[in-house]
Structures are given as C-alpha cells and as structure tokens.
C-alpha cells in the first residue's frame, strides 16, 4: 500500500510540475522560433478554446514531439529525412501538405533551419509515425 501511495504522489507531483509552465522544448522554440511557436500556440487555442491548462498541455506536447522527431530525423547515423517528410505530409493540417512540402524543400536547400518550425501538422502524430516507420524499416 505504501508503494502505491508513493507512486500516486509521484505521479501527482510530476503532473503538477508539468502543468505549471512551458516545457524546456517549448521554451526553446518560443525563444528561437517565435513564428513556429505561434503556429503551435494558435492551433492549441483553436483546439481547446478557453481551457488554459489543456492549451498549455497541447503546446508542451507538440513542442516536445517536434524537437524529438527533428533530432531523430537529422541524426546523420540513424536519421531518415524521407520518412520524416512522409510523416509530416501524412499528419499535416488539412490543406497544408503542399505548404509543408515547400518549407521542407527550402530547408533542404539551405534555408534557415527554423523554417521547419512553421510547418503546420500534428507533431505528436508525426513523431509517432516516424518512430513506427523507422522500427518497421529496420525489421526486415
């Protein structure tokens, strides 16, 4: 019983701490790519309306996933930009696939790295799709 209580208290502490502000990834994006941060923030506001705690959760979740998947995709040893872009296109906001593809091509051709942050997609699903496709690609 003590172990269950301690676990529950730990979970509550983690949830409380994570709900008090921006995650480190969200802070980095907000400071270094404010246009990209605003894309994520506006999408969170559109999704959650006036529920500030869910807006914050969505911003943190999207920013964390965005940073995670980019870090994996650009890794020269194990990254795969083709799978990254397939995931971005699959999980782009409706009607934004061409826009996102244009940003991606510009990014590959030497445009400012931070342009990738203004792509409009569900970054948590992009990360999920990327991880699944990479695992499947290495399984055969």
Instruction: Write a three-state SS string for 20-73.
Output: CCCCHHHHHHHHHCHHHHHHHHHHHHHHHCCCHHHHHHHHHHHHHHHHHHHHHH
What is d(CA 137, CA 118) in angstroms, rounded to the nearest whole number? 28
Average pLDDT over residues 10-35: 76
Q: What is the dihedral of CA 53, 56, 61, 63, to 10 degrees?
A: 180
Check residue 19 and give its pLDDT: 52
d(CA 64, CA 98): 24
Predicted TM-score of the model (pTM) = 0.82
Question: pLDDT tens for residues 44-78?
Answer: 999 999 999 999 999 999 999 999 999 999 999 99
Separation in Å, CA 126 to CA 70, 72, 90, 121? 10, 12, 8, 8
Q: Please provide residue 126's backbone torsions phi and psi, each rounded to the nearest 5 degrees.
A: -60, -45
Tens of pLDDT, residues 79-110: 999 999 999 999 999 999 999 999 988 888 88
Contacts (Cβ under 8 Å, ≥6 apart) of 14: none
Is the pLDDT at 12 greater than 60, yes or no? no
Q: With 80 as the cut, is the pLDDT of residue 7 above it?
A: no
The pLDDT, as a whole number, for residue 86 is 96
């Amino acid at each position: 019983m003590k172990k269950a209580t301690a676990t529950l208290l730990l979970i509550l502490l983690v949830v409380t701490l994570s709900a008090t502000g921006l995650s480190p990834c969200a802070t980095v994006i907000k400071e270094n790519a404010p246009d990209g941060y605003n894309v994520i923030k506006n999408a969170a506001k559109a999704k959650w309306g006036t529920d500030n705690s869910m807006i914050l959760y969505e911003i943190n979740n999207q920013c964390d996933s965005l940073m995670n998947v980019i870090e994996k995709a650009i890794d020269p040893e194990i990254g795969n930009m083709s799978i990254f872009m397939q995931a971005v296109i699959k999980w782009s906001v409706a009607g934004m696939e061409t826009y996102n593809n244009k940003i991606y091509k510009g990014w590959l051709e030497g445009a400012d790295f931070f342009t990738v942050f203004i792509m409009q997609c569900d970054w948590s699903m992009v990360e999920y799709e990327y991880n699944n496709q990479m695992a499947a690609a290495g399984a055969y």
